[in-house]
A and B are shown apart, each in its own frame.
Chain A
Amino acid sequence: MEFKKDRSYSKSHEWVRELVADEVEIGISDFAQDALGDIVFVNLPEAGDEVEIGTPFCDVESVKAVSDIYSPVDGIVSEVNEELLDNPAQINEQPFESWLIRVKKIAKREELLSAEEYEALVKEEA
């Protein structure tokens, strides 16, 4: 299992990558995709939608179950990864490349974990 060091992580298993000032990319962690199993659908929001800390902005469907993906920031969706609509399995194959949304105008962010801290959390949960 991989815990990329160039990201920060939420306790609900999303990763966050800083793009430029005031814009981030959000995806789900390797641990999360592995726990979900084969992903077959992603319901993404639209550019311009507002996202809010602790509120689901998207759901990811595996064969087994549906899971909400929570936003770790308050902001506006600047872009969604439409490639995933046609190829949701990419999230299983490359969880760190498969960003779900990009968010700009970030007003607030939740306290995120470093890769090391997140790895420790996952080990505790496992």
Chain B
Amino acid sequence: MMERKTPLYHCHTECGGKMVPFAGFLLPVQYKSGVITEHNAVRTKAGLFDVSHMGELMLSGTDAFENMQKILTNDFTNMEVGQCRYTLLCNESGGIVDDLLVYKMQTDQYLLVVNAANAEKDEKWIEEHLFGAVQFENRSEETAQIALQGPLSLQILKKLCSEERLPQKYYTFKKEVPVGGISCLISKTGYTGEDGYELYCNAEDAVKLWNQILEAGEADGLICCGLGARDTLRLEAAMPLYGHEMNDEITPFEAGLDFAVKMKKNDFIGKSALQEKGERTRMRVGLKILGRGIAREECAVFFENKKIGTTTSGTHCPYLNAPYAMALLDREHIKPGTLVQVEVRGRMLEAEIVELPFYKKGQDRK
């Protein structure tokens, strides 16, 4: 398969980005400064990410709301224009098709931002289940997305845009905000565990927007960050990633995403299966690796020589400066403080079950 390039491809190569194929796109895994420096820049200052590979699907029409209620797991009844909401897309058996972010653009119009690797699958799934008077459009091609994340994000963005035009509350957004002369949709969202913004603009304006933000943030220590830091940041903040903590066989409850599933609302795809399944038998938990080494995904986890589950992702967390992992474990062994063993390349590493998230915004280095 030929990998696609985002509109910012040349910005990355000019800045020394190491380009790798990811979800059908060529994206920087890191820049010259390396994953650890990029990660810590986001925790202490700010980092800039190209997330143009994400998919943008627009659902509109008089029946758009009813379709959302039926196809997605969250409840959109009390959602106002200008709000964002995290939700899941489940299959009939209660497994997860994808996790996504919904933006309420107008009363009858919703923007769905989906994972790049799942964009085609999601589009097809939603199309197959649509009913009534709706229009459904894929806007991914003409849309670029840039994430500015870190405690100095606001300070940096204020240099390009008046503060009143920016979204103030977490999980809200504003449309048609001029940023250095470029019209953007800006949401106060992100995937790093820090304060920050996600900016959507027309693909042809992306390079200009990227360069202006980088220049505005230079004095504040803003640097470009790649996929490597994106993954370590989300893991340190214990944010689930599709294909790891979620897939079409893991239910939202097992993944610990109960808040995004509203069992009290009318029927939605997957609801009856989730009801029938009853009590969850396994749960997503956090592991702090105590032994020397790193548990990555797919490592068997043992308690008193009995296999109790598998890790879903793991790495060395740069800000906490220790290895952590997430795992799906039998429910009877998930009490924080429990000592377990993780099999890493034939060796058994000691690990402790700990509360999620590993890192909370503003927390000092451990």
The residues of A with any CB-CB pair to B shorter than 8 Å are 37-38, 40-41, 43, 59, 61-64, 66, 85, 92
Q: Which 7 A-B pairs have the closest CB atoms?
A: A40-B316, A63-B35, A38-B36, A38-B34, A61-B294, A38-B35, A63-B316
Those of B328-349 within 8 Å (CB) of chain A: 345, 347
In the complex, which residue of chain A has the Cβ closest to the Cβ of B36?
A38
Chief secondary structure at chain B's binding surface: mixed
Q: CA separation between A66 and B323, bound complex, in Å?
A: 13
Question: Which of A61, A64, A85, A92 is within 8 Å of B29, CB to CB?
Answer: A64
Q: What is the distance, in angstroms, from A81's C-beta to the closest C-beta of chain B?
A: 15
Chain A residues with Cβ below 8 Å from B294 are 40-41, 61, 66
Q: Name the CB-closest residue of B to A34.
A: B18
Bin the interface of chain B by size.
Answer: 10 to 19
CB within 8 Å of A: which residues of B? 29-30, 34-36, 228, 232, 292-294, 296, 315-316, 318, 323, 345, 347
Which residues of chain A are within 8 angstroms of B323 by Cβ–Cβ distance?
A: 40-41
A residues less than 8 Å from B345 (CB atoms):
59, 66
Docked complex Cα distance between A41 and B323 (Å): 10
Given contacts A38-B34, A38-B36, contact A63 B318 (CB under 8 A): yes
User: A40 vs B228: C-alpha distance in the bound complex, in angstroms?
Assistant: 14
Indicate if the CB atoms of B228 and A64 lie closer than 8 Å: yes
Question: Contacts A37-B30, A38-B34, A38-B35: A61 and B228 contacting too (C-beta < 8 A)?
Answer: no
Closest to A35 in B: B18
The answer, among A37, A59, A66, A92, for a CB contact under 8 Å with B228, is A37
* A63, B36: Cβ atoms closer than 8 Å: yes
Q: In the complex, what distance in Å separates the CA atom of A38 from the CA atom of B34? A: 6
Query: Do A66 and B296 have beta carbons less than 8 Å apart?
Result: yes
A59 to B296, CA, bound (A): 14
Within the assembled complex, what's the spacing in Å between the Cα atoms of A92 and B36? Answer: 12
Q: Which residue of A lies closest to B321 (CB)?
A: A40
Q: Do B232 and A63 touch across chains, with their CB atoms under 8 A apart?
A: yes
Q: How far is the CA of A63 from the CA of B30 in the complex (A)?
A: 11
Known contacts A59-B345, A64-B30; 15 additional CB pairs below 8 A are A37-B34, A37-B228, A38-B34, A38-B35, A40-B316, A40-B323, A41-B293, A41-B294, A43-B292, A43-B293, A43-B347, A61-B293, A63-B232, A64-B29, A64-B228
